[in-house]
């Protein structure tokens, strides 16, 4: 009986010793203030690719001096670029791979040559970064898929709703000018009924391409509904927004999709509204939609603009 008690007591003592050792190791690890320990700790705190690269740049700067860090990666249908600092004539480049899968390219530049010991430090820290980087890239792809229309590969209505909220807030705070265009393909149901949905899908994809060609790099385009598209133009007034809408319609009018011995084409109608200070996203969207409705009623294949005069709204072609 006494032997069993001693064995139990020894086991409890051993377990307590392990717990104490683990607690001490955890405290030592949590309190360590070197770039390696900090990078290990901080890299696991975010799935944001931009924040993760910012953390890496901060900890790398504590380990060795560098001028500029540039990271590039193709995520789905979009190019992601992160850059910080100012470059120099000397550089080192890394292709970041894990289990045979590429997760982008990282380039470091500075005015002086990188020494072998410094390259070893960089590669060691990149070894810490790669798993969190993979997780952040995968998360970014999931987010992108949730905000992208599968057919046209442009942002969807959910992405539009988020952009409207953001741009209304920016305009209200800083007085920036944003103009919204809603563009609807005319008689698109007849196209599907006559030529089939495959031809209709080709027209929608061609429309997305026409939107890209008619807008600037900083403009945002969306597939708002079945055959309805939206464009948000930053730093653009109502008159310039109308010009863009007409350019978009001209591009859509030039689309031709072969179907047997025919060329299928379609026209488009557009409604344009600039954001008013204090206006909610729903109110802004409703005014653009009303302008589009009036364009449809005016015979289609035209642009209507929402004008604000003395606090009341009128529409003109």
**pLDDT for position 33:** 74
**pLDDT for position 1:** 57
**pLDDT for position 309:** 46
Mean pLDDT value across the chain: 90
* Spatial contact of 229 and 211, defined as CB atoms under 8 Å apart: yes
Cα separation of 283 and 275, whole Å?
9
Q: What is the 3-state secondary structure (H, E, C) of the chain?
A: CHHHHHHHHHHHHHHHHHHHHHHHHHHHHHHCCCHHHHHHHHHCCCCCHHHHHHHHHHHHHHHCCCCEEEEEEEECCEEEEEEEECCCCEEEEEEEEECCEEEEEEEEEECCCCCHHHHHHHHHHHHHHHHHHHHHHHHHHHHHHHCECCCCCCECHHHHHHHHHHHHHHHHHHCCCEEEEEEEECCHHHHHHHHCHHHHHHHHHHHHHHHHHHCCCCCEEEECCCCEEEEEEECCCHHHHHHHHHHHHHHHHCCCEEECCEEECCCEEEEEEECCCCCCHHHHHHHHHHHHHHHHHCCCCCEEEEEEECCEEEEEC
High-pLDDT (> 70) share of the chain, %: 87
Give me the CATH topology for the region 157-316: Alpha-Beta Plaits (3.30.70)
**pLDDT for position 313:** 41
Of the candidates 227, 228, 243, 279, the residue annotated as catalytic is 227
Cα separation of 176 and 234, whole Å?
8
Q: In the β-sheet with 68-75, what is the strand arrangement from edge to edge?
A: 78-85, 68-75, 101-110, 90-98
The answer to whether 227 is a known catalytic residue is yes
Sorted by where each begins, the domain ranges of the chain are 22-146, 157-316
**pLDDT for position 22:** 67
**221 φ/ψ sector (left φ>0, alpha ψ -120 to 50, else beta):** beta
**pLDDT for position 225:** 87
pLDDT digits (tens, 9 = 90+) for 59-116: 999 999 999 999 999 998 889 999 999 989 999 999 999 999 999 999 999 999 999 9
- Cβ count near 50 (within 10 Å): 13
**pLDDT for position 21:** 64
pLDDT digits (tens, 9 = 90+) for 14-40: 767 676 666 665 665 566 678 899 999
pLDDT digits (tens, 9 = 90+) for 166-209: 999 999 998 889 999 999 999 999 999 999 999 999 999 999 99
**pLDDT for position 210:** 97
Whether the per-residue pLDDT at 317 is higher than 50: the answer is no
Query: Predicted confidence band at 2 (pLDDT cuts at 50, 70, 90)?
Result: low
The class of domain 22-146 in CATH terms is alpha beta
Whether the per-residue pLDDT at 3 is higher than 60: the answer is no
Cα separation of 75 and 73, whole Å?
6
**pLDDT for position 28:** 59
- CB-neighbour burial class of residue 65 (10 A; exposed 0-12, middle 13-18, buried 19+): exposed
pLDDT digits (tens, 9 = 90+) for 203-244: 999 999 999 999 998 899 999 989 999 999 999 999 999 999
């Amino acid at each position: 009986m006494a032997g069993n008690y001693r064995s139990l007591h020894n086991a409890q003592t051993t377990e307590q010793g392990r717990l104490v050792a683990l607690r001490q190791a955890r405290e030592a690890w949590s309190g360590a203030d070197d770039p390696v320990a900090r990078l290990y700790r901080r890299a696991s705190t975010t799935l944001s690719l931009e924040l993760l690269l910012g953390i890496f740049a901060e900890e790398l700067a504590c380990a060795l001096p560098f001028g500029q860090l540039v990271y590039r990666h193709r995520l789905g249908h979009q190019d992601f670029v992160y850059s910080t600092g100012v470059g120099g004539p000397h550089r080192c480049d890394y292709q970041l791979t894990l289990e045979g899968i590429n997760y982008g390219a990282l380039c470091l530049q500075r005015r002086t040559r990188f020494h072998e010991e410094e390259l070893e430090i960089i590669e060691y820290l990149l070894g810490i970064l790669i798993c969190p980087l993979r997780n952040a890239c995968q998360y970014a792809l999931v987010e992108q898929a949730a905000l992208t229309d599968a057919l046209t590969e442009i942002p969807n209505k959910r992405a539009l709703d988020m952009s409207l909220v953001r741009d209304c807030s920016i305009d209200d705070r800083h007085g920036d000018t944003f103009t919204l265009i809603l563009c609807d393909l005319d008689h698109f149901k007849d196209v599907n009924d006559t030529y089939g949905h495959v031809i209709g899908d080709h027209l929608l994809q061609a429309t997305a391409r026409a939107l890209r060609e008619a807008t600037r790099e900083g403009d945002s385009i969306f597939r708002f509904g079945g055959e309805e598209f939206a464009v948000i133009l930053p730093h653009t007034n109502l008159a310039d927004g109308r010009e863009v809408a007409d350019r978009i319609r001209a591009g859509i009018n030039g689309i031709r999709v072969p179907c047997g011995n025919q060329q299928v084409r379609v026209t488009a109608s557009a409604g344009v509204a600039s954001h008013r200070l204090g206006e909610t996203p729903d109110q802004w969207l409703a005014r653009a939609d009303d302008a589009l409705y009036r364009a449809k009623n005016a015979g289609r294949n035209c642009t209507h603009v929402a004008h604000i005069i003395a606090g009341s709204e009128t529409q003109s072609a």
